[in-house]
Structure 1
Amino acid sequence: MSDKSQFHLLGQQRFLPFFLTQFFGAFNDNVFKNALVIMIAFRVAEDQVNILTNLAFGLFILPFFLFSAFAGQVADKFEKAMLIRRVKIGEILIMSLATVGFYLNSVPLLIFVLFLMGSQSTLFGPVKYGYLPEKLSNHELMGGNGLVEASTFLSILLGTILGGILIAYDSWVPISVAVVCFAASGYLSARKIPLCEAAEPTIKLDWNLWRATAGNLRILPEKRVVFLSVLGISWFWFFGSVFLAQMPNFSRTVLSGNEYVVTLLLTMFSIGIGLGSLLCEKLSGRRVEIGLVPVGALGLAWFGFDLYWVSSQWPVSAVQNLGITAVMSVPGAYRVCIDLAMIGVFGGLYIVPLYSLVQERSDANQVSRIIAGNNIINAMFMVVAAVLGMVVLGVLDMTIPQLFLITVGLHIVVCLYIFKVVPEFILRLIAWLLVSLVYRVKYKGLEHIPADGPVVLVCNHVAFVDPAIIMGRVRRPTRFVMHHKIYNKFGMKFLFKSAKTIPIASAKEDPEMMEAAFASVKEALAEGDVVCIFPEGRLTADGHIGQFKRGIERILRETPVPVVPMALNNLWGSMFSRYDKKVIHRRPRKFMATVELLVGEPIPPEQVTAESLYEQVVDLKHQAEIDNPLLEKPVPENTDSNA
């Protein structure tokens, strides 16, 4: 895996033209949308402003309901670079029609153009997120998605600002020239996007939009973790829509600020989400790390609540339309800005891993249709967010800070539900914290683990944290066979149980439990799962690998599947090993030590014996010690260590 950062992708033809194309598209969308909103606000009769504003929002969202499913089919059926170029030609034609609307000063025509822009965005979305997993490797997905999400919110901010500036001119020419030029720029960059293979060219397009939508939504629940990730993404758009939609009124009615204060607040949020999106790659170790999702969810709740708290205490001002300087002089103003920036940062940490997970875990021939289904549900959640805002602020006559509090409360409930039904998020968080804050983990040969199908992983057993280190680096969800005493230890049984860990005992301890464990392993492999066992049957007491027990041979007799040997190196001597018998005497040993996870090539089941596997794992560890002679330092004699 390359040590280069995500920014090296900006020098790659497989990414840069695509990146520029999607940036110009999102930027142009927001230049046009904001220009239209301001045009409605200042050039239409006051009694029609609310009607036309909500109509514009509805018509922009409507295509996501109508056409997303069909767009997903098209994106999976045809070559994506060609589709992107055709979509961009369509954008040029749509923006040419917009120039007519600006020239005629026709709001109805421009609202129709907004509907067409929504349709164009609907077609582009599944292609956009389907393109990334085709051109980026797994260790580049987080960085690539981070760059895309950061540029998207930056384009929203810049496009919103520029749209307001251009429509302020007493002429239709500046805004018209701008939107056509940006559309043309998107097309020119799209011409450099390299060709892709069609994901599923045999798909028969369903022109019945309602039937296609129903069929598309039926695909989503096929993989539970993907479906719940889609719900998590949609929830973020609900959460973000509530906060962002209220920024103009929040600035005016709560902070007593003018339109420049609105721009400041949006800028803080956009910068925050850009930083959070870019941080994902660094924090994840350049892999799809869903352990960041609970971190993002917690940050959204914390700073969302703090924004409610500080704004609910905001002093009432006798003067309205205050400028940025006046507003920032009020106690708590900097806290509001920090809260919005941190909501953005944690929003990035929350959403980028979810998008990456959907792309990684979806079947390659269904990615675009999964993204299309995601877009449908996103649109639903955004409409519900708008309805919530109208009910809370209009019908119930509550304040904007109270709306924020209600949203944070709902956020906590939704996230607790998702993390309860998919404990992998919390388990990966624990693994991420361990391998990020306690150890520096290097790995070699992870590509040897099959991408699908049943497989048994075997590894030497050095410390209590072995499963967490393996879980933090193996891409596929893994079921561990764990000694029942450890399974019931540390108050984490509920997590082990949720992760479908298989407790086992020796024949002397509990023969029924042992038989149940072998039956569970057989069932897991029959379902195509990854099962990891530690054939030594116990933690090492002296740092050396013990002889492997023959349980692995029984497993393979009953279910012949490939076996992948693995070795952990440089964990002996840590506080989680049995280097010290008495826990009270242990202290943080080898804190931030470099630990290695070494993966060998798969072995056919007919070639596996306990002895041969033992030799394979010993050889992996021995080779690591030769390659890194300074890494595995001899551990001093310790009279308290287990014999």
Structure 2
Amino acid sequence: MSNTPRNTKASSSVKLKSWLPLFFTQALGVLNDNLLKGAICFIAVLWVPQEMRATVLAMASGLLVIPFLMISPWAGRLSVRYDKAKVVNYAKLAEIPIMMIAIGGFFLESLWLSGFALLLMGFQSAIYAPSKYGLIRDVGGYKGINYGTGMMELLTFVSVLLGMVLAGFVADMGDAQKYILGGIFLSLALLGWWASNCIKVKEVEAQPEFEGSIQPWKFAKRTWKTAGQTKGLKWTLIGLGIFWLIGSLLQLVLLLHLPEQFDLSATQTSLVISAVAVGIGLGCWTAGVLSKDRVELGMTPIGGLGMAICLTVLSFAELSLGGFIFFAIASAFFSGWFKVPLNAWLQDRVKGRELGTMLALQNMLLCIFVLLSAIIFKVATLVMSSEAIIGVIALIAWGVAIGTLINIPAMFVRTLVFLLSKIVYRVRVHGADRVPKTGGALVVANHVSYLDFMLLVAAVPRQLRFVMLQDMYDKKIFKWLLKRMNMIPINARKGGNNLEAFNALCQAEINAGHVVCIFSEGTVTRTGQMLEFKRGIEYIAAGIEAPIIPVHLGDVIGTPCSFT
């Protein structure tokens, strides 16, 4: 590894053409869903009396969500038992006749027929959602999880935005609107089916004998119990649910707050909300790009803190319209940083075909939290102002941010160091693939500067357990954090017994499947020349059955905190 300009490939480690069919399938499907929903909200709503229009708007949102609660267990079973690409392809094929029903509804000006088509699209989306997201890992491998997840989320929010904007545009087309709408519906469905046919990937072997329950309550109970077998997975699912709770609440309150406080029209309000949606998408994309082939769960508390700070400003500060929009988009951007690492971590930790059932459970929880947001919003509007509701959302964000910070401080600090290292250094890494994805290892590095740990964090794609001096470890102000970061203290001045205990501790950590990092020279070189290796490495190596990975820090002389 050297501190020189780098020339790395995309984080996915997979050619873009391998991703494109999945990306197009995602974008075109979400676009058609939201175009139909928007058309009902802008066009079909005018077919009913004024007093029924609020009900139609609520119905348009519910018809796309409720199917996820009803058939997610069955969708999860399909993704386990059958080829996921085929599940996606058949679901996209079904979109074509559904869109023909929708076209008939608009030509006949039948709200019931149009609503029925939207309900069918909800079922269609729910059926192939676990298979679609399960394909991310099949297309990009474990190294492509962050890139694939970030891009899928970006495309989702951009397509939601385009669908609603396009629906509003077509609504102003007068008598030609039904013909234009029909052509777009059918074209998107056909293109989406064609894109799904182009998904060619080697999948994990299916399990045709899998017999999970498809009753929603039994499925949720069994899968939730299974999630408990993977440390942290339940909290990951809850975190993703809270993301949707905050997002849905913010969208609802903006619809109320912007016209009241800034006297915006419906069109202006929709444009602001669209900009917020783009902010979420950009946050998701940048989180995936920055993480590259790592699962940087430490970005979640950073995103949570950024989201909480921005929402607090929105609630309590007196802002101009421009300032309000800026902080709303910023909070959305940080929410993307909060979400993508959780999605990537879930994909990374859930093995094999079990991923499909876990994604189905995630969809069920998503719907529950979205419905909960509607209830909270309805009750809140009866007793408080829109500014106060934003304050409540900020409190939820603070709770989540602080909770994640307390639970994963080591990952939080690692991510901060990782991002800081990208600013201080330009790092080129050779041989990072030599570090095993799982299992223990001993990383042995030379010691050139006091910031070498930053370079190692940037280079090694796993959580490192560093050896550090006992005197620093025992300082009360740092000890809690250092202990949670699993630092390994050493005090060679207290004699051989202490060193024996230290060696045993390092061996135990490695044999338990962790990666321990030790500086072979024991101190920073003052001359720029490599010093004599300490014999502790030999003692540690004698008691482990794990790879020993040498790391050379090159071209670091003359950088900050080095002696020469």
CA displacement at 1:3 relative to structure 2 = 3.1
The CA RMSD measured in Å over matched residues stands at 3.0
- Any idea what the Cα deviations from partners look like across 1:19-65, whole Å, max 9, x if unmatched? 11111001011011122233564333444444454344334222222
Q: Secondary structure at the match of 1:13?
A: helix
Say if 1:138 and 1:288, in contact at 8 Å, map to a contact too.
Answer: no
Q: Secondary structure at the match of 2:466?
A: strand
Quickly say closer, same or farther: Cα 1:464–1:209, change in 2 above 3 A: farther
Structure 1 counterpart of 2:366: 378
Inter-partner Cα distance in structure 2 for 1:86 and 1:309: 50
- Any idea what the Cα deviations from partners look like across 1:317-348, whole Å, max 9, x if unmatched? xxxxxxxxxxxxxxx12112222332333233
Say if 1:96 and 1:180, in contact at 8 Å, map to a contact too.
Answer: yes
Letter in 2 for 1:443: V
Matched, 1:453 2:439: yes
Inter-partner Cα distance in structure 1 for 2:321 and 2:520: 59
Structure 1 counterpart of 2:430: 444
CA displacement at 1:358 relative to structure 2 = 2.9
Q: Could you tell me which of 171, 183, 190 is aligned with 1:184?
A: 190
Alignment of 1:152-231 (within 5 A): 152-167=156-171, 169-170=174-175, 172-201=178-207, 204-210=210-216, 211-231=218-238
Which runs of 5 or more residues in structure 1 are unaligned?
A: 315-331, 580-634, 636-643
Alignment of 1:391-430 (within 5 A): 391-394=379-382, 396=383, 398-430=384-416
Inter-partner Cα distance in structure 2 for 1:271 and 1:256: 23
Matched, 1:363 2:343: no
Matched, 1:81 2:85: yes
Count of residues in Structure 1 that have an aligned counterpart in Structure 2? 556
Q: Secondary structure at the match of 2:168?
A: helix
Say if 2:22 and 2:195, in contact at 8 Å, map to a contact too.
Answer: yes
Matched, 1:532 2:517: yes
- Any idea what the Cα deviations from partners look like across 1:77-128, whole Å, max 9, x if unmatched? 4322222211101222322232343344333443333332222222332223
Greater relative CO, 1 or 2 (CA 8 Å, sep 6+)? 2
Quickly say closer, same or farther: Cα 1:242–1:511, change in 2 above 3 A: farther
Structure 1 counterpart of 2:287: 280
Inter-partner Cα distance in structure 1 for 2:72 and 2:195: 24
Structure 2 counterpart of 1:617: none
Matched, 1:543 2:528: yes
Q: Could you tell me which of 35, 43, 60 is aligned with 1:31?
A: 35
Say if 2:73 and 2:215, in contact at 8 Å, map to a contact too.
Answer: yes
Q: Secondary structure at the match of 1:539?
A: coil
Inter-partner Cα distance in structure 2 for 1:480 and 1:71: 44
- Any idea what the Cα deviations from partners look like across 1:120-171, whole Å, max 9, x if unmatched? 2223322232222222255544443333222221111110122234356456
Q: Secondary structure at the match of 2:455?
A: helix
- Which has more radius of gyration? 1
Structure 2-normalised TM-score?
0.88
Q: Secondary structure at the match of 1:374?
A: helix
Structure 2 counterpart of 1:487: 473
Letter in 2 for 1:559: I
Inter-partner Cα distance in structure 2 for 1:222 and 1:469: 34
Say if 2:12 and 2:143, in contact at 8 Å, map to a contact too.
Answer: no
Quickly say closer, same or farther: Cα 1:269–1:505, change in 2 above 3 A: same
Identity %: 28
Quickly say closer, same or farther: Cα 1:20–1:456, change in 2 above 3 A: same
Structure 1 counterpart of 2:75: 71
- Any idea what the Cα deviations from partners look like across 1:434-465, whole Å, max 9, x if unmatched? 31221122211011111222222222233333
Structure 1 counterpart of 2:305: 298
Inter-partner Cα distance in structure 1 for 2:465 and 2:409: 13
Q: Which moved more, 1:189-198 or 1:108-117?
A: 108-117
Inter-partner Cα distance in structure 2 for 1:45 and 1:439: 64
CA displacement at 1:405 relative to structure 2 = 1.1
- Any idea what the Cα deviations from partners look like across 1:167-208, whole Å, max 9, x if unmatched? 564564443443232111110121112133235436603243
Inter-partner Cα distance in structure 2 for 1:541 and 1:390: 66
CA displacement at 1:351 relative to structure 2 = 2.5
CA displacement at 1:408 relative to structure 2 = 0.8
Inter-partner Cα distance in structure 1 for 2:283 and 2:494: 50
Letter in 2 for 1:530: V
Alignment of 1:612-627 (within 5 A): none
Q: Secondary structure at the match of 2:427?
A: strand
- Any idea what the Cα deviations from partners look like across 1:603-643, whole Å, max 9, x if unmatched? xxxxxxxxxxxxxxxxxxxxxxxxxxxxxxxx4xxxxxxxx
Matched, 1:567 2:555: no
Which runs of 5 or more residues in structure 2 are unaligned?
A: 1-5
